[in-house]
Structure 1
Amino acid sequence: MTGSFPLNAWYAAAWDAEVGRTLLSRTICNRKMVLYRRTDGLPAALEDACWHRLVPLSIGSLVGDDVRCGYHGLVFAPNGRCTHMPSQETINPSACVRAFPVVERHRFVWVWPGDPALADPALIPPLPWLDDPEWAGDGAMTEVKADYRLVIDNLMDLTHETFVHGSSIGNAALAEAPFEAFHGERTARVERWVLDQPAPPFWAGQLGHDGPADRWQIINFLAPATIYLEVGVAPAGTGAPEGDRSQGVDMRVIHLPTPSTDRTCYYFWAHMRNYRVHDQGQTRRVLAAGGGIMAEDELVIEAQQRAIDDHPDHVFYNLNIDAGSMWARRAIDRMIAAEVAAPIAVAAE
């Protein structure tokens, strides 16, 4: 078991559109998997290594609901059991690969790399905006060469927008605005309001208003790897801080940094909005802007990972702005500690 991520959790492994009738290779929490859809449309996830000679099943082929190894032709059902061996009628009863619990929800395919007996679908993070017809938007995924927790650190402290994203969503007022931080057993939350200040370029464009604006950033974290942001702007003095955001524009920005290995992650993200929901052009423009913002984050986070690798004994000190990331990391650490106390069962079905 690695020390950087819990295994008893649901992780986004792919966008739903990525998983089809071809074999998709993904590594989640150091577990190599092959994902595909059965003939009834439901997703399946198997260990990406043939029982016979460990050749990746992802370079094989589909036979109905089963995966056939591309080396010697062994066939494995969605539950991991071997259903065919070449040149023999008797199948070795030990011939199986691990089948991972998998659920499709909120436009993602989620996998559980830990103890399958604990894989309760009710624990999948609620992200209702991705399914709600009152909200529109889209997202993407990028592979980041960094510990997934560095992505979480980046998101739990958005003062970096002033310096990393100054041409789009950041401005000087943001870095100096006060904030509040809250936490629970598996949650952390950071709230910040920037009142009666010019909106940065991206938000001014969304609002269609160049005058003073009230801006909100509410960061919500659920361990181990789910963050959604409540973000938006409204003309100053129209009631947003008191709860009336109707005069402004409101977004939910979903961030799912799924650990792949100890030093890499799949960074899924989506920008969902509750205005101009039938404007596909607006969806494309927001998606393009979001991609540019994510590229700026990726550059900084990967550079940070390289520096950490170069300075393995360096001790980090926290500032006030690190409160959210501190609580997030503590929540992750508690999940890991619980697994250390109760070893995970990994037997195939």
Structure 2
Amino acid sequence: MINYADTIIHGASFFPGLDLPEDYDYMALKDSRILSMGKGQCWKEYRKPDTQVLEFTKEQLVVPGFHDSHLHLLMSALNYHYVDLFNVRSEEEAAASVAKFAEDHPDDDWIIGLNWYHIDWDRKELPTKKSLDAYLPDRPVFLINTEVHGAWVNSKALEVCGIDDSTPDPESGEIVRDENGEATGYLNETAMGLGAVVALTFDIAKEKELVSLALERYASFGVTSIQDLRPELGYDLGQYETYYQMAQEDKLKVRIHSAANLMDPMDEVIAQREKYNGDLFQIALLKQYMDGVPTTHTAMSLEPYVDAPDLKVEPLGDIEKMKKQIERAHRNGLSVKVHCCGDGAVHQTLDLYENVIEKYGQTAS
């Protein structure tokens, strides 16, 4: 009995994978799985009256779907609506671009921007709230740098977020201040979270809108699945319920393997994993940060920084708690990703992994 195909792709060039034949003429699919690949006219054996036949040419290539193993989904999605500062070359040019975006979007509660990088500016200095205040004194502004390890904000944003000159620095973060102790408008590492929990908190409807824009873009490049690393510095970005509802509504064009926060109570993580465990969306791993980035001297290096030889960089989190959480994750079959930028952070993290393997053995995965 012939197993008929739902769809047949005919005439294209095919790349099934390394060390596999590539001289195929067709691919027959059933229930979204490959039924057969072959040459010549054999494809006609799998055709029935309602089979969809897609005709291609040898100049068109069919490849397996791509999997992006490190992506911040909602953070990425912000790029498709808010102001992109990647190409600006000065603080003033960035502030003017933000002001133009604000003028064009009068109904946005927050003016959000991304991808500024003072290292690429003519003056390689961190920006301050003053340049933003000159254009936007009455609307809160939250601008995320390219590294996503710092945010530049105006005075209104500091006010809305309850940050003033007396606000203490969070653990592993810094509210940068001038020589008089006044907050300059730059929030470093986990201090970003003090603003992000307000500026980047969206309702489910808005998250769906943003995520849809991003997934449309990913799918256009052949990305079929992603690992979404939700935990950011001092906050988690993206609601599980958003992805779950989109999956239920058949609006996910890409499979999402989402990361929970390594430092969350493990019982809660396991309960969430059981609840959100579908084909298109599931909680599949845990994530946290060991260090920051070299440009702001927060990456943990084995050797001193050349321009800051006396600086001692500490881990961004509680190492003992991280150690215990990795052990709990390992025992519950959850993989763990840890952000490491400096070689010192890599050593520290490998020690934690080695500890858990020595205690409980290597997992099958």
Do Structure 1 and Structure 2 share a fold, with TM-score over 0.5? no
Greater Rg over alpha carbons, structure:
2
The normalised TM-score by structure 2 is 0.23
The normalised TM-score by structure 1 is 0.24
Higher relative contact order, chain-length normalized (CA < 8 Å, sep 6+): 1
- Determine which structure has the larger strand proportion and give its number: 1
- Determine which structure has the larger helix proportion and give its number: 2
